[in-house]
Homo-oligomer: A and B are copies of this chain.
Amino acid sequence: MANIKYEIKETVGTISENNKGWSKELNLISWNNREAKYDLRDWSSEHEKMGKGVTLTKDELIKLKEILNSMDI
């Protein structure tokens, strides 16, 4: 991760938090000064360390919303 620059442009929401202080968050993040993308990922407290995650475009987020709304959850 050493040479990846990122900036959290917007914290959209926190999905969960575990007992070690890590939280799963949806953020809007700019990676290496590129256009910001939505990003679903685990973070340690204060965003010091990041876990694995996925980045999503706005179109993908809309599609994900449709899928979730069609599920029986």
Q: Is the CB of A16 within 8 A of B68?
A: no
CB distance from A14 to the nearest CB of B (A): 8
- Asked if A52 is an interface residue, CB under 8 A from chain B, the answer is yes
Q: Is the CB of B12 within 8 A of A56?
A: no
8 Å CB interface, A9-32 against B: 12-13, 15-16, 24, 26
| Proximity string of chain A (40-73) to chain B, C-beta cutoff 8 Å, 1 when within and 0 when not | 1110000000001110111111111101111101
CB distance from A69 to the nearest CB of B (A): 7
CB distance from A54 to the nearest CB of B (A): 5
Interface residues of A (CB under 8 A from B): 12-13, 15-16, 24, 26, 40-42, 52-54, 56-65, 67-71, 73
